[in-house]
Amino acid sequence: MSDLNSTARRRTGAVVESNNQVVAPREARYLSCYTAAIACALGLIKGPRKDWRVAVGEKVGLQVRFENDLIVFRHHRTSLRSLFPETPRRQGTDSFAEARQYFADLVQAGGCVIVVGDAGRLPWSVRRGRESAPHWFVIDGVRAGEWHVVDWFSSVDEHGEQSPWSGWVAADAEIAMAPQLDRVQVLRERYAWSDPDGDPDLDGVSGHVHQFFGLRLPASTHGPSPQSAYTGPVATDRGAHAWQSGAEAVAALAARFDELCTAGDFTEADDIWVAARHRSLKSSALDLVPGVTGQRRTAADSAARAWADLPKIIRYAELSARRGRVRVGPLREAFGRVVEAEYAEEALLMNRSQPVNNLLINGGTRDSDS
When pLDDT is averaged across residues 31-56 and rounded to a whole number, the result is 84
Residues 148, 187: one domain? Answer: yes
Does 175 fall in a domain? yes
Residues 112, 251: one domain? Answer: no
Residues 207, 249: one domain? Answer: no
Does 146 fall in a domain? yes
Residues 202, 284: one domain? Answer: no
249: closest CA among 69, 77, 65?
Answer: 65
> ∠ CA(244), CA(266), CA(282), 5° rounding?
45
Beta bridge partners of 118: 134
When pLDDT is averaged across residues 188-207 and rounded to a whole number, the result is 96
Beta bridge partners of 90: 213
**Count of alpha carbons within 13 angstroms of residue 240, beta-carbon side:** 3
Among 178, 195, 215, the domain-final residue is 215
Kindly report the number of other CB atoms within 10 A of residue 50's CB atom. 15
Q: Identify the pLDDT of residue 51.
A: 82
Long-range Cβ contacts of 261-269 (<8 Å, 24+ apart): 261/321, 261/326, 262/321, 262/326, 263/318, 263/319, 263/321, 263/322, 265/321, 266/314, 266/317, 266/318, 266/321, 267/70, 267/71, 267/184, 268/70, 268/71, 268/73, 268/184, 269/311, 269/314, 269/315, 269/318
pLDDT higher than 70, residue 179:
yes
CA distances from 347 to 115, 224, 299, 353 (A): 40, 48, 10, 6
Residues 190, 45: one domain? Answer: yes
What would the pLDDT profile of 252-289 be if each residue is shown by its tens digit? Answer: 999 888 877 776 778 899 999 999 999 999 999 998 88
Query: To 10 degrees, what angle do helices 269-285 and 294-322 make?
Result: 160
Does 209 fall in a domain? yes
Residues 129, 41: one domain? Answer: yes
**Residues 243 and 196: beta-carbon distance below 8 Å:** yes
Residues 204, 284: one domain? Answer: no
pLDDT higher than 60, residue 141:
yes
- What domain range includes position 36? 3-49+85-215
131: closest CA among 141, 121, 146, 145?
Answer: 121
Does 229 fall in a domain? no
Distance CA 38, CA 28 (A): 11
Query: β-pairing, 60-67 with 70-76?
Result: antiparallel
Q: Identify the pLDDT of residue 242.
A: 87
pLDDT category at 72 given cuts 50, 70, 90 is: very high
Does 228 fall in a domain? no
Query: β-pairing, 90-93 with 210-215?
Result: antiparallel
More confident residue, 221 or 313: 313
Residues 183, 147: one domain? Answer: yes
Q: How many domains does one find in the chain? A: 2
Beta bridge partners of 263: none
More confident residue, 355 or 207: 207
Does 236 fall in a domain? no
Residues 293, 353: one domain? Answer: yes
> ∠ CA(278), CA(320), CA(130), 5° rounding?
65
Residues 247, 293: one domain? Answer: yes
When pLDDT is averaged across residues 190-213 and rounded to a whole number, the result is 96
Residues 94, 142: one domain? Answer: yes
Map 99-147 to HEC letters: HHHHHHHHHHCCCEEEEEEEHHHCCCCCCCCCCCCEEEEEEEEEECCEE
pLDDT category at 326 given cuts 50, 70, 90 is: confident
**Count of alpha carbons within 13 angstroms of residue 154, beta-carbon side:** 16
Does 61 fall in a domain? no
Residues 322, 188: one domain? Answer: no
Does 115 fall in a domain? yes
